[in-house]
Structure 1
């Protein structure tokens, strides 16, 4: 609901307050209140994205320009699909821009994901043996971008959760090493906390440039950040 302010210069949105309900935990009430007041949640609904996380990859790509027309993209842990939606538009996967190269978007997840126009969604565990070869077969070659917004299930213990998400990010990076074409880009969510040092070292060895940043769409009270590694040097012999 909007209310005219006292200066008479128009209207402004009032913050939504959620009343506690019987059987609802205080943490749930706070989460609901935050969702209702989150401008990115409102924008996602208005613009047809499946979640506010879509704006994180939009902001990262606005800065580093890795989702270019014609790019072949793999989205790991793609549910609910917001990142795929962004990639489809930016790499021209639907071929809407006839003057631009047409890209490909492959989304994989452990769970079923509702279809997304322009993206090929597969139910797959990327940790399975041979998953990299399977994805390259679907793509018809190597990928230009591997991206991941995955997060391990929360245990409620901050240090444990940090280690879990770093391990997941490391696994995603290893997958990227197997499927990326030289010059490719790896983008993934990590949590600040110290254990990511080894991951950063490995990425710097395998990519020309590695940066870490927190896009505006990331909530200020979240410890998440994103690593963007560009200029993949290519696979090395073991």
Structure 2
């Protein structure tokens, strides 16, 4: 009777994807029907410790850790707070808000998003003039915090894409200014560039503190940053017509 072949032993025990236990970066064996950019993105996701942690924790995206780090520093998500989440898909930021005790959340995205009770999720274009009032209606009043992880679809031209991003942030800023409670806060994804400096300076007119933050969960090779504005001073009354 022949002997069974010897079993191969693992070099190290399973590690649940911890940073310390990661070996050489994994590479996909096949790239059939994938572009070079999508292949690179998939390999980055496979080897990304934050993506692995998000899957293990049940977060819908690694972006959850960006908000977690921002909130650990600035303490924005509080039980009883009213929060609006712009660009919610796939839902990681709203998950963090709920996890930290926020029960009043209204969110919007162009894409469909699976329910995240008790959040009210609206599938709509945020730039539609009807969207803002609808969010406030769903929230039941003005927010204490406006979050924006929105980013426009890119066209592949660096300067054009950057200007489109800045334009979207400016729309989010004007919305936050029009709806926030005094003392409220605004957080928005941005990308490094000259226009961001102008945007920070403009925000300082209406917020007590304005910071440009790069969470550890933002990839180091990315120009992505986050604007964190706290201590909203309140809306300036409109001047009466002459």
Q: What is the TM-score normalised by the length of structure 2?
A: 0.86
Matches within 5 A, 1:1-238: 3-4=11-12, 12-14=21-23, 15-93=25-103, 104-238=104-238
Encode CA deviations 1:11-54: one digit per residue, 9 max, x unaligned.
93322122343433333222211110000111111101001011
**Alpha carbons 2:77, 2:102 under 8 Å: kept:** no
Partner Cα distance (1:235, 1:181) in 2: 9
**Alpha carbons 1:191, 1:225 under 8 Å: kept:** yes
Encode CA deviations 1:55-81: one digit per residue, 9 max, x unaligned.
100110010001011110000111111
Q: Structure 1 22/48 Cα, relative in aligned 2: closer, same or farther at 3 Å?
A: closer
Q: Structure 1 90/17 Cα, relative in aligned 2: closer, same or farther at 3 Å?
A: same
Count of aligned pairs: 222
Partner Cα distance (1:29, 1:206) in 2: 43
**Alpha carbons 1:66, 1:185 under 8 Å: kept:** yes
Encode CA deviations 1:109-165: one digit per residue, 9 max, x unaligned.
122211012211112323222433322222221100000011111111111111111
Local SS of the residue matching 2:116: coil
Instruction: Indicate the RMSD between aligned Cα atoms, in angstroms.
Output: 1.7
Partner Cα distance (1:92, 1:128) in 2: 26
Deviating more after overlay: 134-143 vs 169-178: 134-143
- Greater gyration radius: 2
Structure 2 portions without partners, runs of 5+: 1-9, 14-19
Partner Cα distance (1:130, 1:21) in 2: 43
Cross-structure match for 1:100: none
Partner Cα distance (2:191, 2:179) in 1: 24
Encode CA deviations 1:191-223: one digit per residue, 9 max, x unaligned.
101112332122100101000010000001110
Q: What is the TM-score normalised by the length of structure 1?
A: 0.88
**Alpha carbons 1:68, 1:90 under 8 Å: kept:** yes
Deviating more after overlay: 106-115 vs 181-190: 106-115
Partner Cα distance (1:131, 1:184) in 2: 20
